[in-house]
Amino acid sequence: MRTQIVAGNWKMNKTFQEADDLVNELVEFIETNKAAHRAMIICPPALYLELATDMARDTELYVGAQNLSQFEKGAYTGEISAPMLASMEVEYSIIGHSERRKYFGENDEMLAAKVRMALKHKIDPIFCCGELLVERESGKHLDVVKSQLDNTVFKLDPVEFGNIMIAYEPVWAIGTGKNATPAQAQEMHAYIRKLISEKFNDQIADNTTILYGGSCNAANAKELFSNPDVDGGLIGGASLIAEDFIKIFQALK
């Protein structure tokens, strides 16, 4: 069975003390509830990655960044590089979140470079894709997601692609309280898996973890995750409260 995952995207939330408390609660839970083929990842703000990797070391809580630079090092004020993250024991990074695309002008070309940079430094990308509301309403959602993948992770070779996790996040569902229906999620996830199989092969498609993101919470996670091609979730708001995030983890197959 593919690894089933919940990843918490904290975005720009939590003070240091609040971050400390949340990581503590999650470590405590995960250490007493070990589960084969299930994993919990947290992606706190970069400033707290050291705290998180320290507390999560030798536990089954894994730590990811929310973003990384497409450049390796040098005069890029304010940026954080893949080698820096790797040197802090960060194992994953979200890449291409729709908020990065919308507010920080990240385009497919930059995202393809970020993915390559992450892989070069042994950081596994959680690569986000997803359509806008107008694109869904005009029936273009499948084409939009295909093009986002074609221009980025589908340029990798099969071995490289083996390290990619995909997160389907319809932009209209992020932070809106309006999640995709289980049927909408399953349709897109099955489509993405079919694209992976056409681009690479059935085995790679079968092994790829595809997460759903967008207003996934403790109340709707079980129904969303019960779909055969939904392998867990990338969780924003509901990952900020330990009890809710734990319930979502417990909803994994």
Residue 169 CB, nearest approach to ligand PGA (Å) = 6
* Whole-angstrom distance, CA of residue 249 vs CA of residue 59: 16
- Of 244, 238, 234, 250, nearest to 96 by C-alpha is 234
Asked if 56 interacts with ligand PGA (CB under 6 A), we say no
Asked if 235 interacts with ligand PGA (CB under 6 A), we say yes
Window contacting ligand PGA (CB under 6 A); options: 29-37, 51-59, 148-156, 213-221: 213-221
Contact criterion met (CB below 8 Å) for 167 and 208: no
Residue 238 CB, nearest approach to ligand PGA (Å) = 6
User: Alpha-carbon Rg of the chain, whole angstroms?
Assistant: 17
Residue 52 CB, nearest approach to ligand PGA (Å) = 17
DSSP3 helix / strand / coil % (the chain, rounded to 5): 45, 15, 35
The residue from 68, 174, 195, 224 that contacts ligand PGA (CB under 6 A) is 174
Question: Looking at the annotation, which residues are catalytic?
Answer: 97, 169
Window contacting ligand PGA (CB under 6 A); options: 62-70, 104-112, 149-157, 212-220: 212-220
Helix/strand/coil for 62: strand
* Whole-angstrom distance, CA of residue 252 vs CA of residue 220: 11
Residue 89 CB, nearest approach to ligand PGA (Å) = 23
Residue 132 CB, nearest approach to ligand PGA (Å) = 14
Contact criterion met (CB below 8 Å) for 130 and 142: no
204 burial (CB, 10 Å; 0-12 / 13-18 / 19+) is: middle
The residue from 22, 48, 236, 252 that contacts ligand PGA (CB under 6 A) is 236
Asked if 8 interacts with ligand PGA (CB under 6 A), we say no
Q: Which is nearer to ligand PGA, 179 or 186 (CB)?
A: 179
The residue from 63, 214, 231, 246 that contacts ligand PGA (CB under 6 A) is 214
The values of phi and psi at residue 23, to 5°, are -60, -40
Asked if 232 interacts with ligand PGA (CB under 6 A), we say no
* Whole-angstrom distance, CA of residue 165 vs CA of residue 115: 11
Window contacting ligand PGA (CB under 6 A); options: 25-33, 70-78, 113-121, 236-244: 236-244
CA atoms within 13 Å, Cβ hemisphere of 135: 15
Window contacting ligand PGA (CB under 6 A); options: 20-28, 100-108, 154-162, 207-215: 207-215
Contacts with ligand PGA by CB under 6 A lie at: 9, 169, 174-175, 213-216, 234-238
